[in-house]
Structures are given as C-alpha cells and as structure tokens.
Structure 1
C-alpha cells in the first residue's frame, strides 16, 4: 500500500493532490441564547451530499449524545444545546464521522477568533487534537454575563486603582485577569469604592480580560477608556477596550543583547558573564532564574562602559540542579525595571559557544542559547550516565552502565540502600555487569523485618564520596504493586527466614522488597483454606486512629466476626491498645498465624501495611483472600495511586461516600466496575458528633510531595507561609484578645521541623506532637479547622463546623490535575494570602464559629452514624455472592 501511495505522489502533482484530500478545519465558535455553535470549514467535499452521511457524537465516558448540525456549502456548524452543557462535567470529546469514517480535524492557525466562550456561567474552550475536545476550564469559578461598571482607572508605577460608583463598597472584591486558561487574582489593598492593587508578582505575559472577583464569582469590568498603560517592575500592561470588553496586553520589558560571553574566573569558583547592548540604561543587578523551580538569585552587576557590564556568578548557582537558567537585568533607578535580555539572531552573534568545566569530578558543559520566547537562556548539562537492567533471571540480573569516562578520579558502583535507615552495601561494577543478589548480605542492612531496598548506580571519588547516584530502571518492567520478577530466601544465624523479591516502582526503577518470618512461626502445610469469618484490619503500619481501627471496633462490638487489628509495636498508638488480645504486633508470630488463615483483609492503604509478607500471588494463597479498601479520606481532590491497573489482584470491594465519588472518580478515573464499589460512608464518620460546642482552632495542613530534603523544606514556600502565619502579630493579638487557642498539628512528615521553640511567640499558639492525640480527637475538640487540601476537612464539614482553606500554592499542588472541580469538594472560605486568612479567622471568631449549613449531599450520601454497619453488610453480601 505504501508503495502505491508513494507512486501516486510522484505521478500526481502536489497541487492536484491538495484538491483531492478532504479537510475539516475549526473556524470559530458562535454563542447564541440557547446554544453554541462550533463552525468548521469543509474542503474538497465538492458536491458530496453530506446531510445524511455525517454523524457527530459527544461523549465523556459516562454521558454520550448525538449532536445536531447544519451544512451550508463548505461550512459545517455543530450545535451544542444548553442541555448538553448541563449534562456534561469535565472534558468531552466530539467526533465527526462521514460515512462511518472519523474525520481528522485541524485548527485554522490563521484565524483571530477565540475558541473559548462562556455558557451558563461556565467557561469553555474548544481544543483541536484530531478530534474536538470541549474543555470545561476553571470549573471552580462562575462567570456573570452582566458587567460591573467602573468610573475611572488610575495608574502609577506598580499601582493600579479602579474606581467604581461612590455608593458601592468594593471591600470584598479583588481584581482578576482572565487568560485563556487561567485566572490571576490581584489582591485589593484599597477600601470603599476603589479596588487598589500594588502586588503584580503573579502576573504573566499574554492577553487577559479584567474582572472583579468575589470569592469564586467572576464579573467582567466595563470602563470607557481609549488606552491606559501601567508599568510594573516586570511588565507593561496596556489596557484597551474592544466590544465593551476591558482587556490588557501584558508584555515583558525587553532589551536586545549584542553580545554575551562567559569564562571561568581565575580561582575557577565562578563564571564571569559579560554582556553588551545598545541602549542608554545602567544595569544594577544580574538575576539568574531556575526555569523549573522558579527560584531566583540576584548578583551585583559592574558597568564596564555605556551599554556593557559584567557579573560574576558562582558555579554552583549556574550548575544547581542541572536545570536550564534564564536571565533578568534590573536597572538602576528609583523605579527599577526588570528587563528580559533577548537574542533574535543568536547564531549570527555566536551565542552557542560551549564552556567545558570540571566541577565536583564531573565534566560539565555550559552555553548560552535562544529560548522560544527569544530570551537569552543558559544550558547546563551534566555527564549522562546510561544505565539499565536488561534481564532478570532467578535472583540476579544483567545490565550496563555507560558514560564513566566523563568522571574524573571516580569508580562505578551499585548501591543497595534501605529506604528507611539509609544503611547500604555497595559493590564495584564494570560497564557490563551481572549481579548475583544471592551472594550479597542484604539482610545485614535491613532496618526492620519488612522493608524496601532501593537500587542505585553511583560514581564515587577516591575518598568514597558519592559524586552521582541514580536509580536504575528495568527494561522489561511491568509495574504492579503486587507482582515480582525474581525471589530468593535465606536463613540467618537465629533460624529466621528472609525472603527477598525483585520488584519495580511506578517509574520502572528496580527495588528489592524483603520480609522475614521468625524462627518460631509455624507455616501451615495448607494455607489455601481461608476462614472468611476471620477478618484482619489495619491502616498504616504505625497508626490506629483512622477508618481501619474504627471499623475494627465496630466488628468487635457488634458482630460475631473474628476480627483482628495489626500495628507496629514501636508505634505510639500501639501502647494505647496493646491490652486488647485481638490487637497484633506487626510481624509477631500471632500476626503471621492470623495472616495465614484470614479470609478477609481490610485496609485504609495498600495491603502491604496489613500483611507481614508480600501481598502477591503465590505467597500463602494471598490470591484467595477477599480484599477491601476502606479508604483514609474522601477521594476527589488530588490524584491517587489506587488505579485498578496497578494491581495484579485488585481490591474486591472499594468503599466510597457518595455517588459522584463512585461514578466520577473510582469507576471513571480508577477503572473499577460498578459492582465492586459500595457507597457506605467511612467508618470513622460514625464517631463524629454533630454540632458539638467547642472554642479553639486547629491548624492542620497536608504535605507537599515535592519537598524531599531538609534544605528544600527550610527554603520552601510551605515552611515560609506556615512559619509566617504562626508568627503573625495581628493573629496573635486576635487570639489573645478573644482567649482562643490555635493548635498546630503538622503533617507527620513535617513534625520534625516544627516544635515548641519555633511556636514560642504566644501562649495561645501550641504545637501538637504526633501521637499525643488521635486525629479524630483533635477534630472533635476544635471549633474551626484551617487546612489547605487535607481530606480531614470532610470530617469537619460533616460535623457542621466551619473550615477555612489556605491555598497559597494551589496551582503547584494540583499540577498533576484534579479528580473533581475545586468547588465540589472545598466547602468553606478559601484564603490565598496570609492577610486574607487572618481576616477570615477574625471573622469566624466574631461569628462564634457559625457555619452556613452548606449542602453536602454531593460528598456524603449518608449523614448518619451507620457507615460501619453498611460496610459490614456490603462485605458480607459480596462474599456471599462469590461463594454462591
């Protein structure tokens, strides 16, 4: 077939072929009162009768509808009625087929028409990706069609003031810039009828419409102006009117570079960068910005002559994280301007010269380049270590490492490191290696009986210091949480058996999971005979305060199920419940005995936390157990790793709290079948009182998965914002004046960074140490919860108590997407800044912590105290149906 097509290409001229190929192209969108039209251009259909041959289908997984259309010569118009918008959530695909053949749709790059539009208070966009995608953008906001009229706009350097009618108070409003796919809110610093803004740090380039925003309600601003120009340090904002729309063109301040050169300083600890330009400006600072983290560092610039300067930049700054850097220049002025250095003709000016330096035993290349936005960028490349495991057989593997020649005074090693204690063993490796894992003393580095050993390749210098350390991938990885590629068992001197299994991470990196069976444990001859009246329940290894323990207590008090609970003996919660004979110390002989025979396993996390051995096919007939996911929160905010595809043997029953959670999240997003998801509510909700009268405030933020070192934490926006909040003088005075305590309970991974010494500014702000109280006790004992994205807010909302959300990094937190729109799950007020948060706290204290009694039926189908009973019934019914 390809040869025929190629032959036709040579025979038929290109111009003729263009006339034969049918094309469908997006032209624009028109919005009418009761519907919207997607207008497409048809090319090369000629007199082809399309009216009876076109089928247009909209679908989003659950909802599907055939759409009406009209054809007029070479124009196809697809009608989206108001009912379509009402029945769809999230994104939907629109497919156009002619005679059963799907048409590939292009966008018309030459048109000026917008593809985004408003309908029914929502904001939509049509994305072209072969098919059409109807995107519901910024779903947490509602958009008014009526305008809010302004009387005037006043500007000065770094200051914008929009004046509305003198009789209208704008105290509760901010200004907002609506870009095609995002909103930037500008905090109001004025009062009365004026909205005044002086912080433009979040503004970015582009075309944006001006709105007034109150909460999540957006109203377009109408103002009769010809042109107003606002200068901020980073941008120029040109405000214009077009078709009654007030919008801004936002551009960087730019300067064209004539030359740029870099060379090492004499002591080789810094790079001297020289630049020249053809403008009468004096440069005060040279700024290096990391393009990934956004972190910036400013260095004093030295003017060499008019239009020429130099700056010395530490090598560590340019090499940091081996990410690309971009530069900014800050002028010397009472009203400084930040300039973007541009290079329109980089190749002609010779900006691509490589500078090779030796830095920390590595040969590193540095050079200038022209970015896509024509800005002058800086690339840094560290030597690439190619490495891979190419084959696993038995309990060993083959692989290779390449690139060792780019390291000086170094040797290559493979490191096996305990994930928790960081103890490790290392072996020297050549370019090609064959590792016999059975020959290594892996059990000597284990931090506990059941643990994980991560596998790295590393370059070490002559002092045994690690210069580079990288995880190694398996070429044929088939990641599942409950599979493995090879295994080995061995006895230690005390007669304990150690099992080691080769597995991979979600990123296909190699790791070794290992567990031990104590010498005193007797393994039954037959573990396939499971007792379905013996249920083993658990949470994380170290807790007994979530849905697992709540459901365990219900089973013991209300059923004849032989229920057991497992937790590590070193956990603080174990001390509180160890007198219960059905509480099993993790890894104890009693724990193994129950694990071998239990027919039902119920956990709030992966069942790794529940069993003392690997939950995988072939291990003591794990595949014959009935597996229940009790959950540790209501799903819908951030993405989770419980998709059915990640399991060789998935959960048999998945517990949820509402129909949206079942259908929109667990079925649609996580791949479970309808009969395997039960709407019961969570077990811990049964213990929550309704409307209990308390007085104090609980501050309980969740974690940030991108913070992975002590240095990253102390330099993070996360630490800066919460440390700033608990030292806020206005907040302290409000608490003291009203005799209210604010109790700070950091996430367990952040506890080590906060303590009583840090929280010393006031006796009204207290640090709650992990394990001193259960989370549920804390929630019950407080009148107001302040959190960011934690699912504990659902518990608080269910108690009909107010929640304030602190969203200072909402864009970064949801960088991987959301499972449900923000407005569906964040019930309460949201603060973006510290001042807004303190205002809301003061307001709640004045209101005596009253709620607005919101409708929460979309989050909780049941608002009673019978969740555990429904879970029990669901499990029993499912087991009975399987046994039949």
Structure 2
C-alpha cells in the first residue's frame, strides 16, 4: 500500500473513504448467440469515458488482446465475441486498466451460480478474485444445448433407470457439476439406461446428461420429481425446462456429543446420538488421498465407540473426516452433523509426543458441519541465506519441538540414496569443500540433494526436509557456487551448487578423469563436429535416427553418446563414432563439438555441466530434436528455464510451432523449425501387420513401490490383461497382445505377473526398439503417450485408455484433446475391450483421418529438413 493511501486511511473517516475509493464490481453476465457480455458496476469513477484512458485486456500469459467494451455512467459492459472462445485453451485473465493502472474487481454479494455458460459447444466458467479469470472447463467434452427428452425416470435404492424415446445403445449417464463431470459406468441398451454405480457422485447441485464419444447432451423430462437414495446420498431429481437438476445431499446423523480417550497407540472415539438406526462401523476418510478405513463400532456406556490406531489418524499428517455405516441390507453411509455440539470443547488442542515430534491434534467442525480431525507437525523453519563459493550460510529453528534430537544437514546421492550427515547449529556456516562427497558419489556424474534432518539420539531420522535458497533464480544451466577436488587417482571432481524448480538446494557433480588433457578456458568449437544423443541409456529415438542419417548422407563428423551399461549400447558399440558416456573419447569430442543435438536436456550428452564457463559451452549450437509431438501435456522446456536456451527447436506442424512452442514456451519464431521428427523417416506407410501393442506412459505422482501397487494405474492395467472377455477375444481371433510397460513400470509388470494367456506377452525393456514395435503391430493401445503420433502417421488405428484423464492433465494441456488424440477413446475396461473387438473385426482399418494439423509433412525427408535447418543456423552464425 502506498504511503498516500496509508495516510488517507489514517486521516479520513470511513464514510469519506467510501466516497473516493474506486470500486469495480462484477455483477453478472449475459449469454447471446454471438457473444458473452460481462456487466460491471463502477463506483467513484469520475470523467470516465469509453473513448480514452480505459482498457480491458484478455491475456493467457503468452499473448493478449484488447476487448471491446461500453461505458455508461456507473456501469461497464465487456464484449466477448464468439471468435475469442475458439482460441482459449487455458485459463485467461481479463484486466481493467484505467490510466495504465490495474483495477481490482470484486464479485457482487449475490453473484451465485451465474458464472458458467456454454459457448461453441464448450463449457466455461468465470472466477472473480481481484481479476476476472475465464476458465475453459472439461475441454475434452463437447456440449449440446438442445436437450434429449426422457419419457420416464424410476428410482430405487442404488438404482436409477431412465427411459427415452430414442435408442440409447452406447450412451451412459453423467452428472455435470459446476467444476467436474461424474460419468456413471452403466451403458444404455435400446431405449433405456440403467445405473446403480454412484461411487464418484458427491454432494452438490448437478445437471443430468447423457454421454457418448465425449458428446454431452442434457436430459429433460416431464414426469413428477423423483427422490433417489444411494448408499451415500439422497438425490432429489427435479424437472426444469431444457434440463434436469439433481440436488445431492449426504445422509445425515445428528450427534449430541463426542468424546475421546488417548491410550498408548490408540484413540477411542465415542459418538452420542438420539438416532435409532443401528450403526455397524466408523469410517475414517483421508481428505487428500480419499482412502478409507473402517473400524467396528461397539456400545460403551451408552455411546457408539471405535478404537482407531494412532498411526491411521496421523498417516500423511493430512486432515481426516468421519462417517458411520448403518447395519442392515440397504446400508447407508451417514455423515455426522455436529451443529448441536459445544464447539469450544470440540476444538481444544492436545499436544502429544508422536515419534519424537510434539504434534498438535484436535477434532473440529467442517464447513459441511461434519466431524473432522486435524494434526499439525511442529514447524521447522530453515533456509540458506548466502552462498559464497563453496560456503553455505543459513539458519534452522524449531528444534525445541522435537524430543531428544539434534539438527543435521544431510547430503544424499539421488541415485544410490547413500547419505552423509553433518551436525549443525541453529545458525550455520558450512564449508562444503571439507565434506567427503567423493566417497558419497554413486557415479562420476550425479546429483546430491541437500536436506535438513532432525535426528533422535537413537540415530533415527525423525524429520528430513529439503532446504531452500533465499535468492534462488532457477535455471537448468546455472549455478551459484562451484568448487573442485582431486581424488587419490588424480581425477578432478567438480561440485556445482544449484537449485531445483522449487528453489531447493542441490549439488550437481561431475569428474574429469586424470588421463584427459584439458583444453584452455575457451576451446575453439568445431562446427563440423556434431554430438548427438537421447537419454543416457537409449539409442532408438530421434537422436539415433538423425545420427544414422548424418553418417549415411552427409560429411559431418557425427558422434553418438550412450552409457556403456545400457542394453542399446551392445547393439551399436561396433561403430567407432559411438561414444561410451564418460569415456576419454567422449570428453575429447565434447570439448570441441560445435553442435549438440538431443531429444532431452543436454545433460544427457555432455559429461560435464552444460553451463557458462565450462569448456566454452556458450559457443555451441544447441538443437532440441524432441522426443515426440508436443501438445498433450505441459513440458519443462520453456525458454525461461535456461540461461542458454536451445538455438533450434524442432517441431512437426504449424500449430505445434505457433500454438505451443512460440506461444506457450516462449521461443522466437526464427528459433523453431517445422521439419517433422527424425524417426518418422523410418516409418512405413500402410503396411499390413497383425497383433496389438499395449504401451502406456507413466504417472508422475507415483514415487514409491507402495504407491504403485495401490494405484489406479497398476490396478487398471493388471485387471485389463487378466480380463477373461479380452483373453477369449484374442484367442478366438488368433491375435497377440504384447504389453510394453513404461521403463519405470517394467519392474512391476513382468512375465510372472503377465501370464494369463498364451496370447498376452510381456516385452522387456531394450529387447526391441520402440520403432520396430510400432512397425510390427496393427493396433496401438496407449493412454497419453506421444508414440501414438508415429502410429497415426503409418495410417494405423490407435485406441486411448483414459481412466484418469483429469488427474493426468491436472497441470493443464498445451492443446485441446481433440487436436492431438486421433482415434477412439475408452474410459472403462468394458469400453476398451469393445473397441478392441471392433478393430479386430474391421481388420484394423482407420478410415480417412485428417492429420494435417499434426504433421506438416507426410514423407521420408524429415532428417533432411532438420539437417538443412541446422546448416541455416550455422550460416547465420558465420554472418555475425
């Protein structure tokens, strides 16, 4: 707040301040066929006109445009033409500027359920919180405004049956909430849709739709209102003109009191209620993971009581909520209502010693009047405040909340997980060069993560948390301090202090072997020497494809780098220009190579840190060959993440260049070349093959064995390959389904698990090139993997299995789903198997598919275009 505003707030009475402070209020919006009009009220604006000093700007962070508007006295109207909604792919802001200053926009008090609308068959919502935020919701769906008529709706416990005039085969029911869509699993048949699966339905207001092939159609009916009772909810089904509304509420049990008793490792929770229904069990629900655990209820001194292990309550230190399950044939989950309980006694906090940490625990009233439980861990403040060469200075506070424990700084090798623990004080200054990192390293080039640890006197690590750098400026290729050490063999180890995208400190380290002659500070780069690579351990993607092209068709002195422990290395090691990562030859070529070409970050190509000051790295030409076609999910290759970004970014189409790399990733137009990917040159067109390839990608939220085995990801694919209907279809048609799990999932899916049928096979990582697998199969089943583009380019069908689409794209998409998922999409196992059966019966034919929006070229000259693009970049370098 400015000093003038502070003075006015101090000097002027509230009534006068109300007369001079400018206020902008979002009142409502109006939907027209050709536009959306946002209506604002203006207060304390004087001499304001629509012809000067006012702007309304729509921006998505990468581009912006000015909007048309009209101002009359104390109101303003913003006009959003239909064309605008065709271009919106992510959240956009609408800002009002007066004389160049942003105005704060607040919602009106009665602005409820007036901010969602349909436009161009899409669903949008507006949030108002200082600015106006325009959200495109459910972009994978298309919405039809004209309703389909339902002749009748009948209900019973856990059953909803809707009768239509039209054939509903293949349709399902869906509930549209303001912020989510719940698809009900049962599929329609003839003129009827019946469902009794309400597992994902939640409390709130929703509209009833039918759904097929991502087309959402509202349902309208004229019979009397209905009441549906499920295990968890009552659903009041109400008719409206053009739609059917669903008012969904939890089953409630009113509590008159609660009490609890803490024992050594158990909490006994007692519930008092005048409700006469018999109760069977208490349900503990984690509000983050949504996992539930049930405990038997028994009567103790007139109260229903359950014994809950303290470990369950403290698990993940997340909030918990409670419900109870009734006894009987038609079980109901009842949500406690604690409005009648004295809140002062309910909210008292208790401090307990749990695993040597002084935790606060308490029960509380949730916003829905339910019973919740919260635990807070003691705060551990820590930060590095200064980095000077090899020295870290910072502080840690909060040790007093830990029992019989001391503070350590923990250094952990990211790959081996080996650790070095260094005792520190609350205020510390550490000389990193005095720590034996050389013995800690698992390999020559590795990463050491830095943590603050609270260690009990017994040696148990009570808390281990990362530590941030106060002045972090994250780039993939920068560093804040550097030092080096020489080991007993004369190898020189470099240690660079860097940060992660979340500003957490880490040490990146590499070595220069003793036998490697070092060039001068700035070795001259040879632009006829090109170094190519992919990930450290592969030679089967765009990198190796382009390397082979260079060797066969050009006079470029090209080299390919890969770890000598990789499976692919054995297949290509006879080539004298294939370099083992970290070998003497690799160092020599890295020092002089003028052009670096990789499918991932150039860390995978160089044995040292790709950063300024290391062997004249800044003078190299850096080319991003790509791993796949961009557009489905957000990637970490934004130009802002590099001190020295890529000089040339390879793409496959105009939309990928302009809508993704230029608009979303920040590259200039001349830095992006539309060539197609190198591996596309090896793809045959319209080849006749047989058999099915199942090849899903990974889920970045899975980090442990336990998470994997408990995940949807494992269960869905494990269930699929053991599905008896699928096995019978494959056996009856003599078709093989070959499962090639992502490299991070290979250890969980193997030939022992995948042994349900002779027609389902496991493909081990590295046993075949991905390119060969794509060529050898007739049908690809994947989820979000970009290998589907290769398959589509070969004019072969793809089926996408999207059982977790919303979670996968929780961080947003770079392009709408329909632009990049070319093929049929299944949400359930039954849908997927039906689509597989249909593809087998039609002999794996795709039909005529327009792929011009994905591939600018459909030929075998992609490598030639990449080569010429690099030469053009070098030619411009010569003219500088």
Alignment partner of 1:301 out of 274, 297, 304: 297
TM-score norm. by structure 2 comes to 0.96
The separation in 2 between residues aligned to 1:100 and 1:579, in whole angstroms, is: 65
Sort the Cα spacing of 1:545 and 1:390 in 2 relative to 1 into closer, same or farther, 3 A: same
CA displacement at 1:386 relative to structure 2: 2.4
Deviations 1:492-533 (A, max 9, x none): 222221112221111121211111111221112364310001
* Distance change in 2, residues 1:183/1:287 (3 Å): same
- State the distance in 2 between where 1:300 and 1:53 align: 68
Is 1:527–1:596's contact at 8 Å kept on the other side of the alignment? no
Structure 1 725/560 Cα, relative in aligned 2: closer, same or farther at 3 Å? same
Match of 2:133 in 1: 133
Q: 1:539 aligns with which of 534, 537, 560?
A: 534
Counterpart of 2:173 in structure 1 is: 175
Residue from 396, 410, 431 that aligns with 2:405: 410
Q: Is the 8 A contact 1:282 1:303 kept in 2?
A: no
Worse-matched range after superposition: 600-609 or 707-716? 707-716
Report the alpha carbon displacement of residue 484 of structure 1 after superposing the two structures with TM.
Answer: 1.5
1:163 to partner: Cα distance? 0.5
Aligned to 1:282: 278
Which deviates more, 612-621 or 860-869? 860-869
Of 673, 681, 686 in structure 1, the residue corresponding to residue 676 of structure 2 is 681
Deviation per residue, 1:333-355 (Å, 9 max, x gap) = 21111122233366635112223
Residues in 1 aligned to 2:234 and 2:315: alpha-carbon distance in whole angstroms: 31
| Deviation at residue 135 of structure 1 after TM alignment | 2.9
1:41 maps to 41
Does the 8 Å CA contact 1:346/1:370 hold for their aligned counterparts? no
- CA, structure 1 residues 650+164, in 2 after alignment: closer, same or farther (shift >3 Å)? same
Indicate the larger mover: 657-666 or 625-634: 657-666
Deviation at 1:19, TM superposition (A): 4.2
Q: Distance in 2 between matches of 1:53 and 1:422?
A: 60
Which whole-Å CA distance do the structure 2 matches of 1:584 and 1:776 have between them?
Answer: 22
Is 1:475 paired with 2:470? yes
The reply to whether residue 741 of structure 1 matches residue 736 of structure 2 is: yes
The structure 2 residue matched to 1:729, chosen from 724, 727, 733, is 724
How far the C-alpha of 1:795 sits from its partner, in A, is 1.2
1:419 is aligned to 414
| Corresponding residue of 2:439 | 444
**How far apart are the structure 2 equivalents of 1:90 and 1:150?**
35
| Residues 635 and 665 in structure 1, CA contact (< 8 A), matched pair in contact too | yes
After superposition, where does 1:257-336 map in structure 2 within 5 Å?
A: 257-265=255-263, 268-304=264-300, 308-336=303-331
* Alpha carbons 2:144, 2:215 under 8 Å: kept: yes
Which residue of 1 is the match for residue 147 of structure 2?
147
CA distance in 2, matches of 1:153, 1:658: 49
1:327–1:377 contact (8 Å) kept in structure 2 = yes
Q: Which position in structure 2 is the counterpart of 1:224?
A: 222
Could you say what secondary structure the match of 2:186 adopts?
coil
Call closer, same or farther: CA 1:76–1:586 in 2, change over 3 Å.
Answer: same
Determine the C-alpha separation between the residues in 1 that align with 2:743 and 2:3: 64
CA separation of 1:407 and 1:114: change in aligned 2, threshold 3 A: same
Q: What is the rounded CA distance, in whole Å, between the counterparts of 1:241 and 1:51 in structure 2?
A: 47
Question: In the alignment, which residue of structure 1 is the partner of 2:691?
Answer: 696
Structure 1 regions of 5+ residues with no counterpart?
Answer: none
> CA contact under 8 A between 1:63 and 1:87: conserved in structure 2?
no
> Offset of 1:60 from its aligned partner?
4.5
Larger mean Cα displacement after TM superposition, 780-789 or 385-394: 385-394
1:339 equivalent to 2:334? Answer yes
- Residue by residue over 1:407-426, the C-alpha shift from the partner in whole angstroms, topping out at 9 and shown as x without a partner, is 33433322222111122222
- Counterpart of 1:106 in structure 2 is 106
How has the CA–CA distance of structure 1 residues 595 and 7 changed in structure 2, closer, same or farther, with 3 Å as cutoff? closer
Q: Secondary structure at the match of 1:753?
A: coil
In 2, the alpha carbon distance for the partners of 1:84 and 1:364 equals 52
- Counterparts of 2:377 and 2:610 in 1: how far apart (Å)? 40
Q: Please say which of residues 602-611 and 714-723 is displaced more in the overlay.
A: 714-723
Shift of 1:360: 2.4
How far apart are the structure 2 equivalents of 1:234 and 1:883?
71
Structure 1 residue 80: Cα displacement: 2.8
Using the TM superposition, give the Cα deviation of residue 47 of structure 1 relative to its aligned residue in structure 2, in angstroms.
Answer: 8.5
**Structure 1 48/564 Cα, relative in aligned 2: closer, same or farther at 3 Å?**
closer
| 1:46-70 CA-partner distances (Å, limit 9, x unpaired) | 8866577754444556775554444
What is the CA–CA distance in structure 2 between the aligned matches of 1:7 and 1:365, rounded to whole Å? 41
Which residue of 1 is the match for residue 26 of structure 2? Answer: 26
Q: Does 2:426 correspond to 1:431?
A: yes
Query: Which residue of 368, 380, 387 maps to 1:392?
Result: 387
Which residue number corresponds to residue 209 of structure 1? Answer: 207
Secondary structure class of the residue paired with 2:874: helix
Q: Any conservation in 2 of the 1:175–1:213 contact (CA below 8 Å)?
A: yes
Aligned partners of 1:264 and 1:518: how far apart in 2? 60
Per the TM alignment, residue 99 of structure 1 is displaced from its structure 2 partner at its CA by 6.1
Most deviating of 570-579 and 378-387? 378-387
Q: Is the 8 A contact 2:172 2:188 kept in 1?
A: no
Q: Any gaps of 5 or more consecutive residues in structure 2?
A: none
Question: Structure 1-normalised TM-score?
Answer: 0.95
- Tell me the number of residue pairs that the alignment of Structure 1 and Structure 2 aligns: 879
CA distance in 2, matches of 1:425, 1:329: 48
Do the aligned partners of 1:55 and 1:96 also contact (CA within 8 Å) in 2? yes
Task: Evaluate the alpha carbon distance shift between residue 407 and residue 70 of structure 1 in structure 2; reply closer, same or farther with a 3 A threshold.
Answer: closer
Matches within 5 A, 1:10-89: 13-44=13-44, 55-60=55-60, 66-71=66-71, 74-89=74-89
Q: CA deviation at 1:663?
A: 1.6
1:30 Cα deviation after fit: 2.1
Cα distance in structure 2, aligned partners of 1:818 and 1:412: 42
Task: Please give the alpha-carbon distance, in whole angstroms, between the structure 2 residues aligned to 1:425 and 1:762.
Answer: 49
> 1:861: Cα distance to partner?
1.5
Secondary structure of 1:642's counterpart equals: coil
1:827-877 CA distances to partner (integer Å, 9 max, x unpaired)? Answer: 111111112211111111111111133222222111211111111111110
Indicate the residue corresponding to 1:191 in structure 2: 189
Counterparts in 2 of 1:65 and 1:523: CA distance versus 1, 3 Å = closer
SS of alignment partner, residue 870 of structure 2: helix
Note the 1:352-363 alignment, pairs <5 A.
352-363=347-358
Note closer, same or farther for the CA distance 1:23–1:33 as it changes in structure 2 (3 Å cut).
same
Report if aligned partners of 2:256, 2:340 keep a CA contact under 8 Å in 1: no
**3-state SS, counterpart of residue 689 of structure 2:** coil
Question: Are 2:857 and 1:859 aligned?
Answer: no
Conserved in 2, the CA contact under 8 Å of 1:63 and 1:88?
no
Alpha-carbon distance change, 109 to 800 in structure 1, aligned in 2, over 3 angstroms: farther
- Could you tell me how far apart the structure 1 residues matched to 2:722 and 2:863 are? 42
- After TM superposition, give the deviation of residue 652 of structure 1 in Å: 0.9
- Counterparts in 2 of 1:352-391, with a 5 A limit? 352-391=347-386
Distance in 2 separating the partners of 1:14 and 1:661:
54
Contact 1:259–1:349 (CA under 8 A) maintained in structure 2: no
Judged with a 3 Å threshold, the aligned counterparts in structure 2 of structure 1 residues 438 and 807 are, in CA distance, closer, same or farther, namely same
Offset of 1:404 from its aligned partner? 2.6
Q: Does 1:708 align with 2:703?
A: yes
Alpha-carbon separation, structure 1, partners of 2:340 and 2:666 = 51
Q: Tell me, in whole angstroms, the C-alpha distance in 1 between the residues paired with 2:664 and 2:723.
A: 41
- Please say if residues 174 and 195 of structure 1, whose CA atoms lie closer than 8 Å, have aligned partners that are also in contact: yes
Conserved? CA contact 2:780–2:799, under 8 Å: yes
Q: 1:414 and 1:37, CA in 2 relative to 1: closer, same or farther beyond 3 A? A: closer
**Does the C-alpha gap of structure 1 residues 656 and 18 become closer, same or farther in structure 2, counting only changes over 3 Å?**
same
SS of corresponding position for 2:238: strand
Deviation at 1:122, TM superposition (A): 2.0
Residues 408-463 of structure 1 deviation map (CA, whole Å, 9 limit, x = unaligned): 34333222221111222222233333322222221112211111111222233344
2:561 — aligned with what?
566
- How far has the Cα of 1:635 moved from its partner? 1.3
1:844 to 836, 839, 846: 839
Quick one: distance in 2 between partners of 1:533 and 1:48?
Answer: 63
Residue pair 1:189, 1:198 contacting (<8 A) in 2 also? no
CA distance in 2, matches of 1:7, 1:473: 37
Query: Which segment is superposed worse, 467-476 or 569-578?
Result: 467-476
